[in-house]
Amino acid sequence: MNPTRDIKADHTAITIILDAMKKLALDMQKGKFIDSYRIVQIFDFLHSFNEHTHYEKEEKSLYPALLEYNIPWTADTIDHLASEHKLAHACINEIDALFQEYLSGNVQVIDTLSLSMLEYIELEKRHIKIVNTVVLPLCERVFDARKLQTLAVDFKRIQKLNAAQLRYEDYYQLLAMIYSENEIIPERVNR
């Protein structure tokens, strides 16, 4: 496992989910049918995979490893990225609450729900862009083979710890379904 490729692969999966979420949010704004089941699947993915496994790989392994190199601007960048994780967590919880209100019969929250979803998507996409274009290329330049191996072991440990709550097969099927149903072409991830 190459840790930087692993993070990029996570970002590709997350981007597919975010693109599907954007389509749902825009459909809400147009008054189209709201696929509540798909929304629940997307929220489940974002809570379970994104918040637990992916964020932990970044915050508990990748970022601390990069900070060991004492590159002047990295601490500020990593603090910013970690604060974005907290903000994204708060946003998804707000979206969940609005969605529960909608499911309870309050259709007046649709506009707020849609806007909150779009704000969350924008936050996550900006975050992914910074990690892919700034953090990961730096990691590829400074990490030696030993550091990459340590990160790979850490990533596997994090995935294994979270495997009980994650349903990887379900998520792969969800990603494949969303990809084929919507013909979503994820934004190009810098490789």
Q: How far apart are CA 182 and CA 47, in angstroms?
A: 22
Inter-residue contact 158 to 53 (CB < 8 Å): yes
**Predicted TM-score of the model (pTM):** 0.89
At residue 1 the predicted structure's pLDDT band, cuts being 50, 70 and 90, is confident
Residue-range domain boundaries for the chain: 3-182
Tens-digit pLDDT profile for residues 102-121: 999 999 999 999 999 999 99
The answer for residues whose C-beta is within 8 angstroms of residue 7's C-beta and 6 or more apart is: 54, 57, 58, 62, 131, 136
Nearest to 77 by CA among 119, 151, 132, 134: 134
Find out if CATH 3.30.360.10 is the number for domain 3-182. Answer: no
Nearest to 54 by CA among 95, 25, 28, 85: 85
- Per DSSP, the three-state class of 56 is helix
Greater model confidence, 146 or 190: 146
Q: How far apart are CA 115 and CA 29, in angstroms?
A: 9
